[in-house]
Structure 1
Amino acid sequence: MNTVFSALHERLRTLFGDRKVVLAGGTRLSSRVTELHQLGARHTLVLSTDDHAPLHDSEVARWVPLGIAGGFVAVEQRRLTGLLENPSAEVRSVLDDFDPDGEALVVSTPYISTAEFAGRPVLNHRRQAWVELENKTTIDALWDELSAPRAPAVVLDLDFDALWQATVELDRGAGVVWSGDGPEINGGANFVRRVRSREEAADAFKVLARKCDFVRVMPFLEGIPVSVHGIVFPDGTAVLRPIEMVVPRRAGSARFLYAGCASYYDPPAWIRDEMRNLARRVGERLRETVDYRGTFTLDGIATEDGFLPTEINTRYGGAMVCFEDALPQLPLSLVQVALVAGHDLGVSSMEFEELLLAAADGFRAGSVGANVRAVNPTEVVERPVVFTDWSCRFAHPEEAPQATLRLRPSPLGARLEVDFHAEQVPGGRPVAALTVAAFALADQEWGTNLGPLEPAIPMGEDVLTTVELGEAVTA
């Protein structure tokens, strides 16, 4: 392990050492600044989409809030792309003051496909051929190329009668899922609807027709939404562990609530193997066909019939936070930047896989939360909680809490977060039901008004009630 770490750090220093770096938007910027400083970067300019710059050493980094936070990822990224492609006079002035010779390296968010920023290279920009692979309405061709089992699906344009006919034909008794795609960034279940009636179909059509060009219709798949990450190197694809996508269903609604990700869940071993094997084949296919480099996500559902894929995201996904937390001494997001930029990292894909897989299997984490519009807090409020039966309550002073429930200000009003305490939550089981219980408590106590939610239903061997959770914690 020490040899791999040493090789990675040495090669990253050859990219960032003694260089000025511009961080244009993104998350965990404080960590990125620290990592760049440790790799020998001369100075960092942070153009932040967050209006609240953290405390920092001005000798290490200069923070400039851009004031373009949009709350929704699509809104914020559209504004950031506009700034990169056509920077204002004010932003140009800041850049020229920081980097008068125009020699700085630029690192932006995983969504950005802009190749340069005011004449400076954006190291991690995505090629257009990579972006196109995220289209949910064309991805079935890849599953067929790789002989991957998948659910039946059809792709149609915005013709309501044709969509309804496909819905009737594909419904196995639990409804279908409409997934729209088009020019907008599509993530967080924004353009995904469960359709069980003609009324739900009409409501879904009103939303998707305004934003999408095509719609994929697929039977609703019962099971746990899961994702597995692959990281494409020049010599092969490193494949990581499955991650639970925490996606409760809104009771009485066609909508889903994307509530983040967590690594506590362990699918049955045979499903884990299916996921990882398919991810390796996907990575190799991406490398062969579009010269892909870096991280991608393979998403799908862990069903009673095995893993059924639904989409890929050709970028550094939000769930990589689970791996960052498992191995904090490794600047994982900068490894991604170096790979996309074609920089030699000095380690093989298998060496990297062994390092990261072992760490993530041994350390469970998550990033679970939801945007809230009903309240507008001016400061952070948080309380320790425990889970009892199928509910969640605030912990008593003498109890060991199993999670922390937090409400903090955000551009959309508020952000509700659940931080599970890994030492109090046994690994192996999904956390969707615990998340639903915690959100119900927030609705009751803080007026967050997320409404009734239902967790994804796991396969029989995955069921763990919160009674059993409490017994596991107190045993």
Structure 2
Amino acid sequence: MDHVLSALQERLGTLFGDRLVVLAGGTRLSTRAGELHQLGARHTLVLSTDDHAPLHDSGVARWVTLGIAGGFVAVEQNRLTRLLTSPNRRVRQVLEDFDPAGEALVISTPYVHTPEFAGRPVLNARRPEWVELENKTTIDALWDELSAPRAPAVVLDLDFEGLWDATLELDRGAGVVWSGDGPAINGGANFVRRVRDRQEALDAFEVLRPKCDFVRVMPFLEGIPVSVHGIVFPDGTAVLRPIEMVVPRRAGQARFLYAGCASYYDPPTRIREEMRNLARRVGERLRETVDYRGTFTLDGIATADGFLPTEINTRYGGAMTCFEDALPQLPLALVQVALVAGHDLGVSSIEFEELLVNAADDYRQGTVGANVRAVNPTETVERPIVFTEWSCRFAHPEESPHGALRLRPSPLGARLELDFFADQLPPGRPVVALTVAAFALADQEWQTAMGPLEPAVPVEDEVAAAPVVELDAVTA
């Protein structure tokens, strides 16, 4: 597929070559600046929401810290949106010094919907009709339109007794899930609660009432949370491989912990195909109805009854890093920018799909972590770890570790991060139980106070078919 890579790089070079580019917020900014440099960009201005500039080549990029890091995505994005809409005097001066003619191209975060920044076009700005599709409380109409199997659900306003009646009606014995939406940015399970009794319902209502306009109630679904990405091209939709959403449950609580994503898990073949087929139908429907372009995520649960969808996110999701790392020579985030901006990439959706799916099936990785408020470290500590089935301990010097556990400073206190070493893990199984074990070790050794966690449970045919694997046997 070298010709596909060459064609993509050539087309991206025509968009960014000899241009000034502003990266206004976002992640992996050093990587993005390097990719733009490789594509021939004249120079890049990085406006970072973080408080500290990394070491960088001043010939590649000028780095300016905005100092608006918020810890939470919603807080940081709201601050960035205000800055894009009404830049302060300092930012205007920085822009004037970098781009006095006002000709620079601007790339911002996947959430951005501001079409311009101080008169300069924001290439990846999302259209309002695309943003509206993320509403978790209205998505069931799309599943019905596409004849997609789904769990029963109702959408109600913030009326407690109505929500409680719906809970009693929909509970299949394991409780229900309340998902709130609007108007705040909603991600990372912030407005999602499991409800099994009236007290949990009251507690959930107090959280959702000041933040949300509506709540969707649906039965709790046992299984592995999974996501599949589609990328809408002018000629069709490229559909990628499933990604595990690592979402432990807080034992004895109604809350979930969103701990990131990983590509180690292989759902049963029937579920993989269900996910990919539905994602293709969703992508084509988005293209037909709202002229959608670029990446979207289709989220749901791999259950014993198959894949049951829960939501879509009409943006470049965080799990796309799994595909970036699988094919680092492809500037995937810039492909997203070009598609959203309406540029022809010179390759078909099928060629692009084959390129990325093959790479990601061969290369597995994950980005797993959680915010910690109980401790405030001043420096990063990292230790190699070993798993023995579902327990975790620090590795001995003579052992080959299965991963690394890290605690680093963060605006919220600390950030707990878990890296898996792909060549040391048995293929195909979810990593959520390993995450629970590693976080329990962090609680014990570093007093992170994550508290008791429980893993999601794979569907029954996976459990029955999976051999018992002694992870210690994998060590060298």
Identify whether the pair has TM-score above 0.5, normalized to the shorter chain: yes
**Aligned partner letter, 2:469:** E
CA contact 1:26–1:108 (8 Å) conserved in 2: yes
Residues 44-98 of structure 1 deviation map (CA, whole Å, 9 limit, x = unaligned): 0000011121111111111000000000000000000000000001100000000
| 1:122 equivalent in structure 2 | 122
**Aligned partner letter, 2:393:** R
1:201 aligns to 2:201 (yes or no):
yes
Secondary structure at the aligned position of 2:3 is classed as helix
Q: How does 1:225-304 map to 2 (within 5 A)?
A: 225-304=225-304
| 2:403 equivalent in structure 1 | 403
| 1:473 equivalent in structure 2 | 474
CA contact 1:23–1:108 (8 Å) conserved in 2: yes
CA contact 1:434–1:466 (8 Å) conserved in 2: no
| 1:113 equivalent in structure 2 | 113
1:434 aligns to 2:425 (yes or no):
no
Residues 268-316 of structure 1 deviation map (CA, whole Å, 9 limit, x = unaligned): 0000000000000000000000000000000000000000000000000
CA contact 2:426–2:469 (8 Å) conserved in 1: no
Shift of 1:389: 3.7
| 1:192 equivalent in structure 2 | 192
In the aligned structure 2, how far is the partner of 1:469 from the partner of 1:114?
51
Moved more, 286-295 or 455-464: 455-464
Secondary structure at the aligned position of 1:232 is classed as strand
CA contact 2:426–2:471 (8 Å) conserved in 1: no
| 1:154 equivalent in structure 2 | 154
Shift of 1:350: 0.3
1:308 aligns to 2:308 (yes or no):
yes
Secondary structure at the aligned position of 2:273 is classed as helix
Shift of 1:467: 6.6
CA contact 1:425–1:469 (8 Å) conserved in 2: no
In the aligned structure 1, how far is the partner of 2:427 from the partner of 2:12?
34
**Aligned partner letter, 1:202:** L
In the aligned structure 2, how far is the partner of 1:283 from the partner of 1:227?
14
Q: How does 1:355-366 map to 2 (within 5 A)?
A: 355-366=355-366
CA contact 1:179–1:192 (8 Å) conserved in 2: yes
**Aligned partner letter, 2:286:** L
Shift of 1:259: 0.1
In the aligned structure 2, how far is the partner of 1:381 from the partner of 1:428?
30
| 2:454 equivalent in structure 1 | 454
Shift of 1:460: 2.6
In the alignment, structure 1 segments of 5+ residues that lack a partner are none
Counterparts in 2 of 1:131 and 1:137: CA distance versus 1, 3 Å: same
Counterparts in 2 of 1:451 and 1:269: CA distance versus 1, 3 Å: same
Secondary structure at the aligned position of 2:370 is classed as strand
In the aligned structure 1, how far is the partner of 2:243 from the partner of 2:102?
40
In the aligned structure 1, how far is the partner of 2:395 from the partner of 2:269?
35
Number of equivalences: 475
Shift of 1:462: 3.0
In the aligned structure 1, how far is the partner of 2:9 from the partner of 2:472?
43
Secondary structure at the aligned position of 1:194 is classed as strand
In the alignment, structure 2 segments of 5+ residues that lack a partner are none
Shift of 1:391: 1.2
**Aligned partner letter, 2:123:** L
**Aligned partner letter, 1:106:** V
| 1:333 equivalent in structure 2 | 333
| 2:374 equivalent in structure 1 | 374
Counterparts in 2 of 1:163 and 1:211: CA distance versus 1, 3 Å: same
Shift of 1:368: 0.4
Residues 98-141 of structure 1 deviation map (CA, whole Å, 9 limit, x = unaligned): 00000000000000000000000000000000000000000000
**Aligned partner letter, 1:273:** E
Identity among equivalent positions (%) equals: 83
Shift of 1:461: 3.5
CA contact 2:47–2:65 (8 Å) conserved in 1: yes
Shift of 1:469: 4.3
Secondary structure at the aligned position of 2:103 is classed as coil
CA contact 1:392–1:441 (8 Å) conserved in 2: yes
Secondary structure at the aligned position of 1:398 is classed as coil
| 1:89 equivalent in structure 2 | 89
CA contact 1:390–1:465 (8 Å) conserved in 2: no
In the aligned structure 2, how far is the partner of 1:470 from the partner of 1:425?
7
| 1:75 equivalent in structure 2 | 75
**Aligned partner letter, 2:378:** T
| 2:52 equivalent in structure 1 | 52
In the aligned structure 2, how far is the partner of 1:364 from the partner of 1:299?
19
**Aligned partner letter, 1:470:** L
| 2:138 equivalent in structure 1 | 138
Residues 353-394 of structure 1 deviation map (CA, whole Å, 9 limit, x = unaligned): 000000000000000000111111111110000012421000
**Aligned partner letter, 1:440:** A
Shift of 1:459: 1.4
CA contact 2:304–2:461 (8 Å) conserved in 1: no
Secondary structure at the aligned position of 2:347 is classed as coil
**Aligned partner letter, 1:40:** G
In the aligned structure 2, how far is the partner of 1:240 from the partner of 1:14?
26
CA contact 1:402–1:424 (8 Å) conserved in 2: yes
Q: How does 1:215-234 map to 2 (within 5 A)?
A: 215-234=215-234
1:29 aligns to 2:33 (yes or no):
no
Counterparts in 2 of 1:469 and 1:53: CA distance versus 1, 3 Å: farther
